[in-house]
Each structure stands twice: as structure tokens, then as C-alpha cells.
Amino acid sequence: MILITLVIGAITFFLAFMFTNGPVKRTLALLVTGIILLGSIVGMVSNYHDHFGMHKVTTTTTKTIYSASNSSSMPIALYKQVGTSGKNDVYIYNLKQKQKTPDHTKADEYTSNKIKYTNKSTATMTTKVTRWQFKNNFYKDLYLWSGMGGQIVKRVNTFNLPKTWVKLSVTQAAKLEKLMASPTAKAQMQTQAKAYIEAKVKAAMTQNPQMTEVQRAKVTQQAQAEFQAQALKKAVSELK
């Protein structure tokens, strides 16, 4: 609406200046049309520069994510480095346990990412998006066609990851994949994993001789996850 008011103000101001006769009538016409024109300009500038008539609205969404490695035995928080500060790095993840083309965070000046490690076994991504929205329908109609409604202020992605996950760059992941593909490395890891799991199960059974099969399976699963995380972290540290 303010765009229409601006056009009307400009046209009527021109007509008043060119065609109004009599000093009093001309002055009055110029004053009224000038106020309309100037008020429209000030309103547009205020909305564009200071977001007049608007306020910030934040929406929060949380979704379960999976490792982009498509493997539960290699839970990695994969990222592609953008710049040198780390603030604009793009994180890559899956929304399904296995998918051909992974999803990724946006690479723009509005988006930032951070990682938090939790004791939970499920990885999630919480996204908070803050946008400028009009305070009410009056301002929405007033600044119709301005393009300011819904303008993004910032987007913050928080990755809540199990402690078994390891942060890894795309370059490191490529090197790690090559390293893990070695038959020698595979055989060595299998031997170490077996010994680690057996030791954990034995220690648990010593503390609880009456352990059931279900409890033993849970200990075995936990020990396997712990070993995988430790082996992955060790392998990553050797890549640096």
C-alpha cells in the first residue's frame, strides 16, 4: 500500500506544483501532497533500514539424523570446511539410516552450526530460524510488495550427538575410508574388538554372576559401540 501512496504522492505533488493557481491554494496543495510524499518515503526507509512495523519471530524444529557414512559402525559428524574460521563449515548428514544423497546445512552468512555431545544414543539436529515478521495485518498491508516479510535474520543448527560420534572433515573421511579398507587394518581391528568386548563382558559378569542373556547382550552391544568410537577416534588422530 505504501508503494501506491508513494506514487500517488509523487504525481499529486507534481500536479500541484505545475497546475494549481493562487498562492494560498498552491501552498496548501503542495503542503498536503508533500506530506504524503515525504511520509511515504520515510515509511519505506524506516521499514527497509530499521524494520519499522516488524518484530523478530523464532521457530524451532528438531529432527532425528544419521551419520552420512551410511554405517552404524562409523558414526561421524561429517563437515566440509568453508573458509578458515570454521563458522561457515557445511555439515553433512542423513535423514534416513541409509540414503544415496545426503542432506547438508546451508552455506550462507545467516547460518551457523554447533555440536553438543550428549549421553543419548540418538542423534538429533535442532534448527532455530529467526525471521522478521510484520507485527499485525495493518503493517502487512501497509508494506505489501516490499519483500521484507519473512526476511531471515539468522539460522542456528545445533547437532546433539552421542559421545560415540566423531567430528570429521570430508578430506579426513576420504583418508580414513582408504585406511579402513586395508585387509590388515580390518583383521587387526576385529581382533582388538573381540578382545575388548570379551573383557567388558567378563568384568560385567564378575560383578553380576546372575546376569541374564538379555543383560549380557546389552553389555556386548555397549562394549562394541565403545570400541568402535575409540578405534575411530584413534584412527582420526593418526590422520592429523
The yes-or-no verdict on residue 5 having pLDDT over 90 is no
The yes-or-no verdict on residue 91 having pLDDT over 90 is yes
Q: For residues 34 and 15, what is the distance between their CA atoms, to the nearest angstrom?
A: 11
Q: Name the most confidently modeled range: 14-18, 63-67, 228-232.
A: 63-67
Residue type, 105: T
- Please write the tens of the pLDDT for every residue from 198-207: 888 889 888 8
Shortest CA distance to 2 belongs to which of 152, 134, 150? Answer: 134
pLDDT of residue 86: 67
Cβ–Cβ < 8 Å for 105, 90: yes
pLDDT of residue 101: 92
The yes-or-no verdict on residue 88 having pLDDT over 80 is no
The yes-or-no verdict on residue 240 having pLDDT over 60 is no
Report strand pairing: 152-162 vs 111-118: parallel
pLDDT exceeding 90 applies to what percent of the chain?
26
Taking the model in full, what pTM does it have?
0.75
Radius of gyration, alpha carbons of the chain: 31
pLDDT of residue 84: 67
pLDDT exceeding 70 applies to what percent of the chain?
95
Cβ–Cβ < 8 Å for 47, 134: no
Q: Name the most confidently modeled range: 17-21, 57-61, 66-70, 178-182.
A: 57-61
When pLDDT is cut at 50, 70 and 90, the band that residue 82 belongs to is: confident
pLDDT of residue 114: 92
Q: Name the most confidently modeled range: 12-21, 162-171, 174-183.
A: 162-171
The yes-or-no verdict on residue 72 having pLDDT over 80 is no
CA triple 72-74-76, angle to 5 deg: 110
pLDDT of residue 73: 67
The number of CA neighbours under 13 Å toward the Cβ of 195 is 6
pLDDT of residue 107: 87
The number of CA neighbours under 13 Å toward the Cβ of 170 is 11
More confident residue, 44 or 133: 133
Which residue's C-alpha cell is 519505506?
44
